[in-house]
Amino acid sequence: MDTQKGVHSAEHLSIKLLKAVLLCACTLGILLSLVQVFLDAHLSSADIDRKARELLAMIHDPASKAADRLDTDMGQEVLNGLLEMKSVQVAAIRLDDASNLAKVERPIFASRYRLLSDYIFDSIRIYRQPLEPGKEHFGELILSIDTAYEGKAFIQRSVVVVFAGIIRAIAMALLMYLICSTLLTRPMNRLIRHLSSIDPEAPGQQQLPVPEGNENNELGLWVRTANKLLTSINYHQSLRQKAEARIMRLSQYDYLTRLPNRRTLQNQINTFIQKATNKHENIAILCLGLDDFKSLNAQVNFNAAEHILVKVSDRLRNCIGNKAYIGRLGEDQFAIIQSKIEQPYEAAEMAQSLIRQLDRPFEINNEQLTISATVGITLFPDDGEDVDTLLQQAEFAMIMAKSRSHNRYQFYVATIDTEIRQRKRLEMDLHQALENRELSLAFQPQFNYQKGELVGAEALLRWNHPEKGVISPDMFIPMAEHSLDIIPIGNWVLENACQQLNKWHLDGHQNLRLAVNLSAIQLQDQNIADRIAFLLNKYQIPPETLELEVTETSIIDDLEASKVQLQNMKDIGVTLALDDFGTGYSSLGYLKQFPFDKIKIDKSFVEDLPDNRENCGIVEAIVQIGKSFGLKVLAEGVETVEQETYLAKKGCQEGQGYYYGKPLSAHDFIGLISSQGALPGNTQVEGGDYETLGDNND
């Protein structure tokens, strides 16, 4: 019977309704019947009286005559006629002397309704009428009426009335119930069934049907309103779901490239590791870092750099397809997980194809930009068994590969660990190098083509490690920059260079010029210009004989700040040279804005001159740029007479390289200057007994 889940049958609205209607109808029916019965009783009582009086009136005259004549027979006859009426119990003609002239009598009616009817009408009603036809008085007429007859009829009528009332009430109640259940309960039950079949996840997809025939009443309105509500719930639910999905995406994916982020990658690697452990499979994790992305970031604007990252990630993703899983580790680093590999060469192939993806230049703001990448690879389970180790080692391998050369890949090998540890050790040693007087300067001559003589030198830092011997600045300068030891070391270089230059000037080489390299970190040092001014003053050096070399990459980190710093130096009067020109993102824009006096063509463009067409073009272009900006041009890495001839012919003013001399000790350098007549070709070998300038270690 229970059609709707959750509603007990006794609680059904229709049953409740039925009960209420029944109760009301019955009560009302009984009440109305009782009123009717009461009225009936009243009328019946009056009727008894009326009939009795009619009877008395009817026999008044004959009874008066009989009393007048004292005719008993006549009196008896008159009274006998009354007995025809069943309700007449006693009738008598009483004379004034209290004797009865005539009397008729019948026994009381033995009715089973007596008890009730006696209560309502009294059992016997007595009526008297004086017998006075004229002015005389003959006695009285007495009539006693038995009410049981009228009472019986009244009770029977009342029973019918009450029953009929109750039956009518029940019938009405049932009818009401039927109507209600047809019009309300059944359509509602149907709606409830529909409602319960609605998917709570998508409440708007199924609409409630308007019950037939109820389109325009409250039920129809209810259904339409409910449908509107469902649609609205659905809409808001979908908004919420979208927002949730967005939050989920943001927390798991990189906002820019839409690749999985570092945390998602870590989880994914974990999953891969678990699977691979069960099935004894190998996984390769490739860490891909873009080369020199920082410089690129500084060169193009922020939006363009982000755009490039998106394009790079698109290419990588396309290259990988469904062969591997890719995510973004950080700024310019991506990680690629290759599961189920059989041989390490598969990872190498993947690395190679990823690197190749970046061969084609990227076009940003109508400019072609070349980006390369370096990849470090670790293998599970050979190189490590947990996510962090594997990722860290892949990153190490990548960093090591970058430090060797860009645009290549490198497997993680145990030696990298050692290498990293050795690096750390070396970094600590470097920290002590100044104090331990292990640093020195070498001087590489610079030749002027117009004057045909050596005009100066570049001071190059040397570190003589007690165990490892001479270590290349290419190796230890980045370390010193990383640890910020470059600040004291750079200051030491400046001080010693100035001291040396002063010595040479005093020894009679007044025009000699000395170039000193400034690191990016030194360029950010707010005190650098003051310090240079102080040193120039301390060693009485004409400012223009001190040349400061900075690279493009070091000024590009913060163009505005660099401009201010360089201008401050320029104001002191020193010469400024732009080192390694052509290797960065040589943009003519900043050459104009910066107060350079000289550009140094990087040695990579001087190589193979004049045979290498491409390099010839580059060198020619740089010389032209120098001319149009009014800058001197010096070529680095000049090793042969052919190079020199070509450079001089093209209008390059100065040269530096092994052809004129390797970096020499101060002593050897000044020896070379003194024997200028024997030049060129009279080059000496680096590593001769150049003196160590350790006087200013503090």
Residues 55 and 88: beta-carbon distance below 8 Å: yes
Q: What are the contacts of 626-634 at 24+ separation with CB within 8 A?
A: 626/599, 627/651, 629/591, 629/592, 629/596, 631/578, 631/591, 631/596, 631/597, 631/598, 631/599, 632/597, 632/598, 632/599, 633/598, 633/599, 633/600, 633/601, 634/446, 634/577, 634/598, 634/599, 634/600, 634/601
Stretch that binds ligand C2E, among 25-33, 129-137, 613-621, 650-658 (CB under 6 A): 650-658
Give which of Ca ion, ligand C2E, none residue 461 binds (C-beta under 5 to 8 Å, depending on kind).
ligand C2E
Cα distance between residue 469 and residue 499, in whole Å: 26
Residues 411 and 377: beta-carbon distance below 8 Å: yes
Nearest distance from C-beta of residue 398 to ligand C2E, angstroms: 23
- Applying the rule CB under 6 A, the residues between 652 and 681 that interact with ligand C2E are 656-658, 663
Q: Give the helix ranges, DSSP H, for 456-602.
A: 473-483, 486-506, 520-524, 528-538, 552-556, 559-572, 588-593
Using the rule CB under 6 A, is 472 a contact of ligand C2E? yes
Tell me whether residue 147 or residue 517 sits nearer to Ca ion (CB atom): 517
Cα distance between residue 215 and residue 236, in whole Å: 27
Nearest distance from C-beta of residue 412 to ligand C2E, angstroms: 28
Cα distance between residue 248 and residue 252, in whole Å: 6
Tell me whether residue 210 or residue 442 sits nearer to ligand C2E (CB atom): 442
Nearest distance from C-beta of residue 603 to Ca ion, angstroms: 7
Using the rule CB under 6 A, is 461 a contact of ligand C2E? yes
Cα distance between residue 405 and residue 73, in whole Å: 163
Tell me whether residue 84 or residue 474 sits nearer to ligand C2E (CB atom): 474
Q: Which of 485, 579, 644, 654 binds ligand C2E (CB under 6 A)?
A: 579
The binding track of 416-455 with respect to ligand C2E, each residue x by CB under 6 A or -, is ----------------------------x-----------
- Applying the rule CB under 6 A, the residues between 367 and 386 that interact with ligand C2E are none
Using the rule CB under 6 A, is 643 a contact of ligand C2E? no
The DSSP bridge pattern shows strands 469-471 and 453-465 to be antiparallel
Tell me whether residue 129 or residue 656 sits nearer to ligand C2E (CB atom): 656
Using the rule CB under 6 A, is 147 a contact of ligand C2E? no
Cα distance between residue 49 and residue 87, in whole Å: 12
Give which of Ca ion, ligand C2E, none residue 658 binds (C-beta under 5 to 8 Å, depending on kind).
ligand C2E
Tell me whether residue 146 or residue 549 sits nearer to Ca ion (CB atom): 549
Q: Which of 477, 487, 514, 633 binds ligand C2E (CB under 6 A)?
A: 477
Tell me whether residue 296 or residue 461 sits nearer to ligand C2E (CB atom): 461
- Applying the rule CB under 6 A, the residues between 269 and 288 that interact with ligand C2E are none
Stretch that binds ligand C2E, among 37-45, 249-257, 263-271, 632-640 (CB under 6 A): 632-640
Tell me whether residue 389 or residue 640 sits nearer to ligand C2E (CB atom): 640
Structure tokens at 570: 């320029």
Using the rule CB under 6 A, is 562 a contact of ligand C2E? no
SS (H, E, C) 221-265: HHHHHHHHHHHHHHHHHHHHHHHHHHHHHHHHECCCCCCECHHHH
Shortest Cβ contact with ligand C2E: which residue?
A: 657
Nearest distance from C-beta of residue 604 to ligand C2E, angstroms: 9
Using the rule CB under 6 A, is 81 a contact of ligand C2E? no
Nearest distance from C-beta of residue 686 to ligand C2E, angstroms: 7
Nearest distance from C-beta of residue 637 to Ca ion, angstroms: 8
Using the rule CB under 6 A, is 603 a contact of ligand C2E? yes
Element (H, E) at 410: strand 409-411
- Applying the rule CB under 6 A, the residues between 478 and 497 that interact with ligand C2E are 490, 493
Tell me whether residue 14 or residue 491 sits nearer to ligand C2E (CB atom): 491
Q: How many Cβ atoms from other residues are within 10 Å of residue 334's Cβ?
A: 27
Cα distance between residue 130 and residue 676, in whole Å: 186
From 305, 307, 329, 327, select the one nearest 317 (Cα to Cα): 327
Tell me whether residue 88 or residue 494 sits nearer to ligand C2E (CB atom): 494
Using the rule CB under 6 A, is 500 a contact of ligand C2E? no
- Applying the rule CB under 6 A, the residues between 515 and 554 that interact with ligand C2E are 517, 519
Nearest distance from C-beta of residue 445 to Ca ion, angstroms: 13
Tell me whether residue 203 or residue 490 sits nearer to ligand C2E (CB atom): 490
- Name the DSSP letter for residue 586: -
Cα distance between residue 548 and residue 570, in whole Å: 10
Give which of ligand C2E, Ca ion, none residue 410 binds (C-beta under 5 to 8 Å, depending on kind).
none
Residues 67 and 79: beta-carbon distance below 8 Å: no
**Phi and psi (nearest 5°) for 90?**
-135, 140
628 contact partners, CB below 8 Å, separation of at least 6: none
Q: How many Cβ atoms from other residues are within 10 Å of residue 285's Cβ?
A: 31
Using the rule CB under 6 A, is 102 a contact of ligand C2E? no
Tell me whether residue 68 or residue 639 sits nearer to Ca ion (CB atom): 639
Nearest distance from C-beta of residue 581 to Ca ion, angstroms: 8
Nearest distance from C-beta of residue 663 to ligand C2E, angstroms: 5
Give which of Ca ion, ligand C2E, none residue 444 binds (C-beta under 5 to 8 Å, depending on kind).
ligand C2E
Q: Which of 639, 651, 683, 692 binds ligand C2E (CB under 6 A)?
A: 639
Which residue in this structure is represented by tokens 């830092």?
A: 461
Tell me whether residue 193 or residue 437 sits nearer to ligand C2E (CB atom): 437
Using the rule CB under 6 A, is 460 a contact of ligand C2E? yes
Tell me whether residue 380 or residue 581 sits nearer to ligand C2E (CB atom): 581
Cα distance between residue 165 and residue 179, in whole Å: 21
Cα distance between residue 638 and residue 647, in whole Å: 9
Tell me whether residue 339 or residue 551 sits nearer to Ca ion (CB atom): 551
Cα distance between residue 634 and residue 616, in whole Å: 15
> Count of alpha carbons within 13 Å of 137, Cβ hemisphere only?
7
Using the rule CB under 6 A, is 474 a contact of ligand C2E? yes
Residues 594 and 563: beta-carbon distance below 8 Å: yes
- 324-325-328-332 Cα dihedral, nearest 10 degrees: 0
Structure tokens at 255: 């906002």
Give which of Ca ion, ligand C2E, none residue 384 binds (C-beta under 5 to 8 Å, depending on kind).
none
For helices 641-650 and 613-629, what crossing angle results, to 10°?
A: 40
Tell me whether residue 394 or residue 514 sits nearer to ligand C2E (CB atom): 514
492 contact partners, CB below 8 Å, separation of at least 6: 434, 439, 696, 697
Structure tokens at 320: 């990988």
Q: Which residues bind Ca ion (CB under 5 A)?
A: 517, 549, 579-580, 636
Q: Interface residues with ligand C2E (CB under 6 A)?
A: 444, 460-461, 472-474, 477, 490, 493, 517, 519, 579-580, 603, 636-639, 656-658, 663
